[in-house]
């Protein structure tokens, strides 16, 4: 079970990275994160939307409404150029943390 | 029999009452329906159970809305400020329009041969009735669902409406102030003006204050528990 703090901290890079794979909408993003993490990353669903709202306000993502074949109106998000840059920065930082931890653990022969 | 659309409408209302923007509510609405579909398709739940489960997973309105407000707290404050200023401007526009109508009341009474004092009082009555009608209409329009949904043109429509009302009021006032001194003696004009000025003050301050307090106390809005709380059936 991943702690609340870690989930909160990883939401932004997670959303940016999912959207880097292509345009998507809230419900599908949640499903995708659940599948990719093998169920280890369990988001409280309502948390995602304020995050999307903030990322859009910060111009890292843009949105458009589109009606699906079932007639349901969905808000699709995609990365902006700034969002792509932010995603790369996040990746560097997370990988740096990850590599450091692995190096420490490796040294300790865990 | 469970009515999903009614339950969702009620839930939307709770979000709207906590001043969430319509576009955000629409997005959550779609999420909720997607989640309900997915739960019922798997055969896990009846539509009613699916609705409650999906709603819980998404978060109750009282938890959900503060999360948005955290993101744009400054924006919410700015929006409230704009609404207050809009109310102030609308009050000015209505006052101008009713002032024009009241002046027309004086002109008509004077044309009918009434004395200055009577003409002045008639204009005061016109003004009072006008404010009362506006106020009644305003309180009725405050009920949820009375206004059409806000769209990109709404701001322009409101601005144009206020400008039109103000210009009409000013044109009426101007026409009357050109016409009245020419057809009344100075004394009659002075009498009517005295009543109109005093009456306008009494109505704009005393009468409106009395109505606001009366309606506020009657509806419970001034007792601090005005937020309608509704539950889905």
pLDDT band at B223 (very low <50, low <70, confident <90, very high): low
Residue range(s) defining the domain that contains residue B105: 73-223
**Chain B contact probe: residue of A15, A27, A51 with most B CBs at under 10 A:** A27
Q: Which of B142, B162, B156, B154 is nearest to B89 (CA)?
A: B162
DSSP chain A: ---HHHHHHHHHHHHHHHHHTS-EEHHHHHHHHHHHTTT-----HHHHHHHHHHHHHTTSEEEEEEE-TTS-EEEEEEE-HHHHHHHHHHHHHHHHHHHHHHHHHHHTT-
Chain A residue closest to B21 (CA)?
A53
Domain boundary among B71, B99, B130: B71
Across the range A32-39, mean pLDDT stands at 88
C-beta atoms of B31 and A27 within 8 A: yes
Angle between helices A4-20 and A45-57 (to 10 degrees): 60
Tell me which residue of A68, A55, A2, A75 sits closest to A33, measured CA to CA: A2
Question: B147 — phi, psi (to 5°)?
Answer: -85, 145
Query: Which of A50, A65, A77 has the highest number of chain B CBs within 10 A, making it the mutation to test binding with B?
Result: A50
**Residue B155 confidence (pLDDT):** 81
Q: Are residues B106 and B216 in the same domain?
A: yes
User: Count of domains in chain B?
Assistant: 2
**What integer is the mean pLDDT of B147-151?**
71
A3 burial type by CB count under 10 A (0-12 exposed, 13-18 middle, 19+ buried): exposed
Residue at a domain's end among B25, B51, B71: B71
Higher pLDDT, B34 or B42: B34
Q: Lowest mean pLDDT of A86-95, B127-136, B163-172, name the range.
A: B127-136
Distance CA(B118)–CA(B45), nearest Å, equals 74
Work out the minimum CA distance from B44 to partner chain A, whole angstroms: 18
> Residues B41, B102: one domain?
no
CA-based R_g, chain B, Å: 25
- What integer best gives the mean pLDDT of chain A? 89
- Do B38 and B80 belong together in one domain? no
CATH number of the domain residue A37 falls in: 1.10.10.10
B10 lies in a domain? yes
Residue-level pLDDT at A109: 59
Alpha-carbon A60 to chain mean position? 12
- Which residues 6-45 in chain A show a CB within 8 A of chain B? 25-27, 44-45
Give the range among A67-81, B8-22, B60-74, B118-132 with minimum mean pLDDT: B60-74
Average pLDDT over residues B222-231: 50
B31 and B127, same domain (yes or no): no
* Residue B232 within a domain: no
Q: Are residues B95 and B64 in the same domain?
A: no
End of a domain among B71, B100, B123?
A: B71
Q: Which residues of B8-23 are buried (b: 16+ CB within 10 A; e: fewer)?
A: beebbbbbbeeebbee
B79 and B64, same structural domain?
Answer: no
The set of residues, in sequence order, having a beta carbon less than 8 Å from that of A33 and lying 6+ positions away, is A14, A18, A41, A43
B56, B86: one domain: no
Lowest mean pLDDT across A49-58, B62-71, B80-89, B222-231: B222-231
Q: Are B114 and B50 part of one and the same domain?
A: no
Q: Is the reported ipTM for this assembly greater than 0.90?
A: no
Residue B24 at interface with chain A, using a CB cutoff of 8 Å: yes
Model confidence at A80, pLDDT cuts 50, 70, 90, reads very high
- B33/B119 same-domain check: no
Structural domain includes residue B231:
no
* pLDDT score for B222: 60
Has residue B148 got a pLDDT over 80? no
User: Are both B106 and B21 inside the same structural domain?
Assistant: no
Where does residue A103 rank: exposed (0-12), middle (13-18), buried (19+ CB within 10 A)?
Answer: exposed
Same domain, B59 and B136: no
Of the candidates B28, B35, B63, which has its C-beta nearest A49's C-beta?
Answer: B28
Residue A56 structural domain: 4-107
B228 domain residue, yes or no: no
Asked if residue B233 is part of any domain, the answer here is: no
Please check whether residues B13 and B106 belong to one and the same domain.
no
The answer to whether residue B91 scores a pLDDT higher than 90 is no
Report the domain count for chain A.
1
Is the pLDDT at B199 greater than 60? The verdict is: yes
Q: Is B136 part of any domain?
A: yes
């Amino acid at each position: 079970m991943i702690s609340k703090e870690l989930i909160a901290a990883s939401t932004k890079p997670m959303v940016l990275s999912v959207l880097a794979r292509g345009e998507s909408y809230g419900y599908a993003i949640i499903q995708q994160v659940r599948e990719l993490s093998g169920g280890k990353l369990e988001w409280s669903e309502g948390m995602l939307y304020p995050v999307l709202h903030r990322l859009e306000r910060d111009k890292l993502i843009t949105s458009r409404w589109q009606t699906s074949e079932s007639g349901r109106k969905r808000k699709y998000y995609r990365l902006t150029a700034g969002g792509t840059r932010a995603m790369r920065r996040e990746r560097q930082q997370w990988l740096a943390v990850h590599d450091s931890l692995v190096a420490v653990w490796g040294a300790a022969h865990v | 029999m469970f009515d999903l659309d009614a339950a969702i409408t009620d839930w939307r209302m709770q979000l709207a009452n906590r001043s969430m923007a319509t576009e955000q509510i629409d997005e959550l609405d779609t999420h909720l329906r997607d989640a309900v579909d997915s739960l019922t398709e798997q055969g896990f739940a009846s539509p009613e159970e699916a609705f409650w489960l999906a709603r819980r997973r998404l978060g109750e309105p009282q938890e959900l809305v503060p999360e948005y407000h955290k993101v744009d707290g400054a924006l919410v404050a700015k929006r409230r400020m704009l609404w207050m200023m809009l109310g102030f401007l609308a009050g000015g526009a209505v006052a101008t329009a009713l002032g024009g109508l009241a002046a027309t009341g004086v002109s008509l009474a004077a044309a009918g041969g009434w004395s200055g004092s009577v003409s002045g009082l008639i204009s005061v009555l016109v003004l009072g009735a006008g404010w009362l009608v506006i106020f009644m209409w305003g309180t009725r329009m405050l009920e949820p669902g009375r206004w059409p949904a806000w769209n990109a043109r709404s701001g322009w429509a409101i601005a144009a409406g206020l400008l039109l009302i103000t210009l009409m009021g000013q044109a009426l006032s101007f026409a009357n102030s050109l016409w009245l001194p020419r057809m009344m003696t100075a004394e009659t004009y002075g009498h009517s003006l005295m009543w109109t000025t005093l009456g306008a003050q009494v109505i704009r301050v005393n009468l409106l204050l009395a109505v606001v307090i009366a309606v506020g106390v009657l509806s419970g809005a001034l007792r601090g528990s005005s937020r309608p709380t509704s539950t889905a059936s």
